[in-house]
Amino acid sequence: GIQVEQSPPDLILQEGANSTLRCNFSDSVNNLQWFHQNPWGQLINLFYIPSGTKQNGRLSATTVATERYSLLYISSSQTTDSGVYFCAGAYSGGGADGLTFGKGTHLIIQP
């Protein structure tokens, strides 16, 4: 199966700052998703983005499939953005049905 590496593992920012989270994957994917895990443990779908760029409010994501990475941008951070951000992918060449998750980026937004 594929390997998914996320960076940085931890990030502490002041409210209002911008951030970029990165996800590298070891092989080509036909599914790449970003999730936010809130303090209650819920996984919130942010983006389904196997390629290209999408935006949703203050969040945007870009996946460059040929170079095997994806970026999540958070602008004008708010304290409610705190939590763990996971990317997860599925290998396009077959193999596991399920998504392979990275270890996550733990984001803390301080007031």
Partner 1 sequence: EPEVTQTPSHQVTQMGQEVILRCVPISNHLYFYWYRQILGQKVEFLVSFYNNEISEKSEIFDDQFSVERPDGSNFTLKIRSTKLEDSAMYFCAGSMGRRDTEAFFGQGTRLTVV
- Note whether 33 binds partner 1 by CB under 8 A: yes
Would you say 6 or 77 has its CB closer to partner 1?
6
- Tell me the C-alpha distance between 67 and 81, whole Å: 28
DSSP string covering 56-79:
ETTEEEEEEGGGTEEEEEE-S--G
- Note whether 42 binds partner 1 by CB under 8 A: yes
Q: Which of 9, 15, 48, 64 binds partner 1 (CB under 8 A)?
A: 48
The owner of tokens 């996320």 is 6
Q: Which residues bind partner 1 (CB under 8 A)?
A: 30-31, 33, 35, 40-43, 45, 48, 50, 86, 88, 90-92, 96-104
